[in-house]
Amino acid sequence: MGYDLIYSEACFLLNEGDAVELSERSVVDRVPKDLFIGGEWKKSSDGKRFKVEDPATKEVIAEVADGTPDDGLAALNAADLAQRSWGRTAPRVRAEMLRKAYELTVAQQDDLALLMTLEMGKPIAESRGEVLYAAEFLRWFSEEAVRVKGEYYMGPEGSMKILTQKQPVGPSYMITPWNFPLAMATRKLGPALAAGCTAIVKPAELTPLTMAAFFHILEEAGVPSGVVNLVHTTDPGGLTKPLVEDRRLRKLSFTGSTEVGKMLMAQASHNLLRLSMELGGNAPLIVFEDADLEKAIQGAMLAKLRNTGEACTSANRIFVQRGIAEEFSLALKTRFESLKVGRGTEAGVEVGPLVEQAAVDKVQRLVTDARNKGAKVVAGGSSFGPGYFYQPTIVLGVDSSFEIANEEIFGPVAALFVFDTEEEVIELANSTSYGLVAYLFTESLNRALRVIERLETGMVGVNQGLVSNAAAPFGGVKHSGFGREGGFEGIEEYLYVKYAAINASTL
């Protein structure tokens, strides 16, 4: 896989021969298992640890420090102290550190990818794709660090000059999910460090290892003590509350479920924190009769099965226009039935296990509800062991009243709806509280532009099943949250505008 390849279709589709040769044990053994606070690896304040499991085998692969609220506050102390100097570091210095971190991440992609596969299950080729995608945020924001600008101009009445400058928001707390253990953090750390903010990262308890390995990289890249801090815990609520209520904290960036996001937003209101909320999705994927069928199938495979369907951008509802519905579903069934499902470290595996038993139970509940309401399961439909596996599944004849149409499936299950008109499908696509991403397949430019305009989502994929790109603003509307990560917009989340009114008569 090429050095410069960002997270592209190739990562998902070309994984033949990617058998893992590295020793799993030695890669896990090399990862620091403690918390990283004020530039030192530390045990948790009460000495407790928690277990990390391989979802393909249910075996415990490591034990890591279980951070306490005291550890969280120690991390904030360190971040607050470091903020004073970090915010004034030359942008070029910050840029060079990010660039170094980018290079080290790319150089260590095999180890990072293996760790990711071991702790969350995705196929190794996809893990490599995520590592490279994650690294891109470091490269992109190393380039953005030196382009933060202000303005200086005469006020309209001529009596004063207006000077604006952008300054770092300050210590930022970042909470990330397990489904993209590295990229969801670099999407926050890249712009924060570029802008001059210090950080406390709390990764998901299911996937602490990849982030710990990455913190080792940040250390090697020369990021000063206290600028980045890592606290993993089995008590995210207990750790978070005192942090968001402490007035030294200035920003909360959260990626995770809408439910937790709303709760955190309420907590953060006490301290009026700057917020970025990257929340859940319920993406519609729309295939019009004038689509190129092969492109649509490729796009649906990627949008549905990337990350074993455990993605906020996953195609949750697949709408196919009546004239091609049968042809589309048969072609999709053929592709689904040829997929190799297994432990992500094995050569050729395209679909890994789900992350935990609760995920399998949820997918099963949604499929059972659809079946009970008259939908047809034409491929897959059950779970299997020894890990948390679920067969790639296709459910035909779904309608908006089914649970599967209204909840994030977060599994390898394609729910197919049939529609007749453009007007009807736009209405259906928008009939959800979420608004992260939509995909549409059509060979008509006019139709594409018309539909893009009317979809209530932050992002739209046109004739492709992937929108993620470090150079593009990722984010949603409605209950999918607010704020943008990546692109030119990403760094603004960590900057505030200071304005000075300068009396023109003094000039």
- Contact criterion met (CB below 8 Å) for 431 and 417: no
256 binds ligand NAD (CB under 6 A): yes
Question: Which one of the spans 6-14, 217-225, 255-263, 342-350 is the region binding ligand NAD (CB under 6 A)?
Answer: 255-263
As beta bridge partners, residue 503 has 160
Question: Which one of the spans 166-174, 272-280, 294-302, 416-424 is the region binding ligand NAD (CB under 6 A)?
Answer: 272-280
Q: Which residue has the tokens 């893990």?
A: 127
What's the CA gap between 201 and 254, in Å, rounded? 10
Question: Which one of the spans 102-110, 171-179, 221-229, 388-396 is the region binding ligand NAD (CB under 6 A)?
Answer: 171-179
* Contact partners, residue 331, CB within 8 Å, separation at least 6: 293, 297
408 binds ligand NAD (CB under 6 A): yes
Cα 135 versus chain centre, distance: 13
Residue nearest to ligand NAD (CB): 256
What letter would DSSP give residue 200?
A: E
- HEC assignment per residue over 288-333: CCCCCHHHHHHHHHHHHHHHHHCCCCCEEEEEEEHHHHHHHHHHHH
- Compute the least distance from the CB of residue 207 to ligand NAD, in Å: 9
Burial 380-394 (b: 16+ CB within 10 A, else e): bbebeeebbbbbbbb
**Nearer to ligand NAD among residue 190 and residue 281 (C-beta):** 281
Gyration radius from the chain CA atoms = 23
- Compute the least distance from the CB of residue 198 to ligand NAD, in Å: 19
436 binds ligand NAD (CB under 6 A): yes
Is the bond preceding 473 in cis, omega lying within 30 degrees of 0? no
- The backbone torsions φ and ψ at residue 318, rounded to the nearest 5 degrees and listed phi first, read -105, 115
- Compute the least distance from the CB of residue 241 to ligand NAD, in Å: 7
* Contact partners, residue 286, CB within 8 Å, separation at least 6: 319, 419, 425, 429, 438, 439, 440, 441, 451
What's the CA gap between 90 and 369, in Å, rounded? 57
- Compute the least distance from the CB of residue 12 to ligand NAD, in Å: 17
**Nearer to ligand NAD among residue 183 and residue 223 (C-beta):** 183
Enzyme catalytic residues: 278, 312
Amino acid at 482: F
**Nearer to ligand NAD among residue 281 and residue 344 (C-beta):** 281
438 binds ligand NAD (CB under 6 A): no
- Compute the least distance from the CB of residue 279 to ligand NAD, in Å: 5
Q: Kindly identify the residues of this chain, within the stretch 312-331, that bind ligand NAD according to CB under 6 A.
A: 312
| 170 φψ region: left (φ > 0), alpha (ψ -120 to 50), beta (else) | left
Q: Supply the DSSP string of 169-193, one letter for each residue.
A: ---EEEE--SSSTTHHHHHHHHHHH
# residues near ligand NAD by CB under 6 A:
27
Smallest CA-to-CA distance from 170 within 252, 259, 61 is with 252
Which tokens is 73 given? 């506050």
**Nearer to ligand NAD among residue 116 and residue 291 (C-beta):** 116
- Compute the least distance from the CB of residue 224 to ligand NAD, in Å: 25
Cα separations (Å) of 480 from 190, 222, 486, 491?
22, 35, 16, 20
278 binds ligand NAD (CB under 6 A): yes
Question: Which one of the spans 52-60, 153-161, 249-257, 383-391 is the region binding ligand NAD (CB under 6 A)?
Answer: 249-257
55 binds ligand NAD (CB under 6 A): no
Question: Which one of the spans 18-26, 134-142, 250-258, 327-335 is the region binding ligand NAD (CB under 6 A)?
Answer: 250-258
190 binds ligand NAD (CB under 6 A): no
Amino acid at 211: M
What's the CA gap between 108 and 135, in Å, rounded? 11
**Nearer to ligand NAD among residue 18 and residue 278 (C-beta):** 278
- Contact pick of 109, 117, 255, 329 for ligand NAD (by CB under 6 A): 255
**Nearer to ligand NAD among residue 279 and residue 301 (C-beta):** 279
Amino acid at 420: D
* Contact partners, residue 350, CB within 8 Å, separation at least 6: 12, 15, 123, 305, 339, 340, 341
**Nearer to ligand NAD among residue 208 and residue 381 (C-beta):** 208
Question: Which one of the spans 6-14, 135-143, 273-281, 374-382 is the region binding ligand NAD (CB under 6 A)?
Answer: 273-281
User: What does the per-residue mask of binding to ligand NAD show for 199-218, with x meaning CB under 6 A?
Assistant: ---x-xx-------------
- Compute the least distance from the CB of residue 377 to ligand NAD, in Å: 24
- Contact pick of 281, 342, 387, 486 for ligand NAD (by CB under 6 A): 281
Question: Which one of the spans 65-73, 83-91, 232-240, 412-420 is the region binding ligand NAD (CB under 6 A)?
Answer: 232-240
- Contact pick of 279, 286, 296, 375 for ligand NAD (by CB under 6 A): 279
178 binds ligand NAD (CB under 6 A): yes
- Compute the least distance from the CB of residue 63 to ligand NAD, in Å: 17
72 binds ligand NAD (CB under 6 A): no
Smallest CA-to-CA distance from 253 within 199, 179, 181 is with 199
184 binds ligand NAD (CB under 6 A): yes
284 binds ligand NAD (CB under 6 A): no
Q: Note the residues at the interface with ligand NAD (CB under 6 A).
A: 175-180, 184, 202, 204-205, 236-237, 240, 255-257, 260, 264, 278-281, 312, 408, 436, 476, 480
